[in-house]
Structure 1
């Protein structure tokens, strides 16, 4: 909910610093601004880039960054930047395997959206998010409120490039999302933090994993359905978001590829009529909707008189993914890997 909290003097001082040209390196020390270490600023100069309709100007590599969505946080952690992060928020899953130790050093401000004041209490010099809603009305705060204080913000291009967010719901894709957009986000953030070589290394690793997952297999006859959340008004993937990346990389057919809505709510009778070969199910740890965990989803599918007759349910052809693997993040690569492995296991590869 939007409100106008009192702004601490320390935040105003920080904002003034950023608006002028960035504080000198001789300023007050903090745990997020070490003198050395793998995340330290090494003479990194100003960076400017266009981001989702706004110009982002960063005077120097951030030292007190806040990632307001899990996807953004995991990119920064994967780039080795935990020592320059002072907060994360809005988590749907356990942190990406291998990042547990680094993640434990960064305060979690909230499981969902922290208040604007709580973010300001960290005295951030940079804020990133994966979704427009997070940096909009109803989320943490509109980008403009951070800009007014001289705090640069960055929004994942995956939630704005080729996407119309003007209506209700989760938006409509005007063009299919590709991993190149996600790779672009990795490169942008690596450049902003002055570690471009790490960004290229991470992109290279992700590309190699996608290539390996789909090598030598033909899944062309398989049909899939992607269920993210809610059993009462289930959110299923449309054609062109992150699940669309998985489908196109593997050459399978999403049974709801006739809608460009990101996550349309579709009734179970329609789902049963489409009768997919495989059900790809999000396993969420949040508790915002009904049937968030994979176990609850499967329990529903196998007990409901309508859904239990589906081919995938009768044959127990389930692929369980993290929510982040079904969002446009670096973990979408997990989606490609795990769906490919399951299709092979279920004998659906030629």
Structure 2
């Protein structure tokens, strides 16, 4: 190789190396920019979440980030959680009253069931949860997963579905629970979409209610042998009114209460709503009422006019339209 050719080769190699370094630099610059954008996106999401404060049962729950390990307790709140598309955060669930809604079945089956009813505190804490969402106050006591104060010491924010615990809840209270959970998990738009869908369904059902019918007297039978346990000011009372009927025990000052069979006879219901749950079947309850000697002259008994309402529908969750639909069908059949 001549000296001239060697010189050309060296210069060409040097230029190629410079170009390669330039390309590498551009690639590194591009990668740095992408990583920077990703970091900015994360920081932006964190900034968007900020500090979320939720008033719940005379307590203020404070969140600085979305909870990552949630456990739902009671079917109606589990269904709220799934309806909001939050299954990725669920590390456990408990206390199903009956079959979960068909549209949630596949998703639900992938979530660990911690207990048929309430899990013990030990079982609950094994999942290392940072958020507990209960439908009924009974979940948060020492015999079950623990009080809210105890759970706070374990780093668990405990949210109680308020529409299931306040006296005289209305539909708006259920919507507020949905909004609260939506805000905690940073899915506000999903929450509003769900609420609007429920509102639309309710309006469509209300349009089918006869306008000129006389108000029907309704007795809600939950359970009880020597004395019936019935609905007072709870959600069913609101739904019964929405359906154009009257709950005969709407003067009870609590959501649920025990009354006497004599009072039932005196108020003479025309329709009996049987709440279906637990080991005693709805048919067993129906037979109990039909065979009760004190109820022989009650209109609903003579006409055998019963409406079966699953507890999963009677609770304050996403099945509000189903509850109204069942009542309207049963009242005006």
Bin of the TM-score, shorter chain as denominator length: 0.7 to 0.9
TM-superposition CA deviations, 1:272-318 (whole Å, max 9, x none): 2222111111111x23xxxx321111121122222344221222211
Q: Rate the CA distance shift 1:324–1:260 in 2: closer, same or farther, 3 A.
A: farther
Does 1:70 pair with 2:75?
Answer: yes
Q: Which of the numbers 96, 108, 113 marks the counterpart of 1:91?
A: 96
Tell me, what secondary structure is at the counterpart of 2:91? Answer: strand
| Per-residue deviation, 1:228 | 1.7
Residue 276 of structure 2 is aligned with which of 283, 297, 301? 283
1:242 aligns with 235
> Residue 155 of structure 1 corresponds to which residue in structure 2?
160
Query: 255, 263, 268: which is aligned to 1:270?
Result: 263
Q: Distance in 2 between matches of 1:247 and 1:208?
A: 18
Please report the TM-score for the alignment, with normalisation by the length of structure 2: 0.80
1:129-278 matches, within 5 Å, as: 129-160=134-165, 163=166, 173=167, 176-216=168-208, 217-218=210-211, 219-238=213-232, 240-278=233-271
Does residue 303 of structure 1 match 2:291?
Answer: yes
Aligned ranges for residues 33-44 of structure 1 at < 5 Å? Answer: none
Contact 1:324–1:332 (8 Å) recurs in 2: no
Is 2:323 aligned against 1:318? no
SS of match in other structure, 1:99? helix
Tell me the equivalent position of 1:7: none
CA apart distance, 1:140: 2.5
- The structure where helix makes up a greater share of residues is 2
TM-score, L = length of structure 1? 0.76
Distance 1:113 1:220 in 2: 43
Asked whether the 8 Å contact 1:242–1:332 carries over to 2, the reply is no
1:220 is displaced (CA, Å) by: 4.3
Q: Paired residues, what number?
A: 285
Distance in structure 2 (CA, Å) of the matches to 1:340 and 1:278 = 12
CA RMSD of aligned residues (A): 1.9
User: Is the CA contact 1:301–1:313 (under 8 Å) kept in the aligned structure 2?
Assistant: yes
Aligned to 1:36: none
> Aligned to 1:333, what secondary structure does the other structure show?
helix
Instruction: Determine which of 291, 312, 325 is the counterpart of 1:337.
Output: 325
Tell me the distance in 2 between the aligned counterparts of 1:70 and 1:220.
Answer: 35
Q: Cα deviations across residues 155-201 of structure 1 (Å, max 9, x unaligned)?
A: 112144xx4xxxxxxxxx3xx32110100111111111111111111
> Paired residue for 1:8?
none
Q: Is residue 231–residue 297 contact of structure 1 (8 Å, CA) maintained in 2?
A: no
Structure 2: runs of 5+ lacking an equivalent: 1-44
**C-alpha separation in 2, matches of 1:152 and 1:258:** 35
SS in 1 for 2:257: coil
CA contact (8 A) 1:82 1:105 kept: no
What is the rounded CA distance, in whole Å, between the counterparts of 2:100 and 2:300 in structure 1? 29
Gap runs ≥5 in structure 1: 1-41, 164-172, 346-350
The answer as to whether partners of 1:282 and 1:293 remain within 8 angstroms in 2 is no
Q: Please state whether the residue corresponding to 1:229 is helix, strand or coil.
A: coil
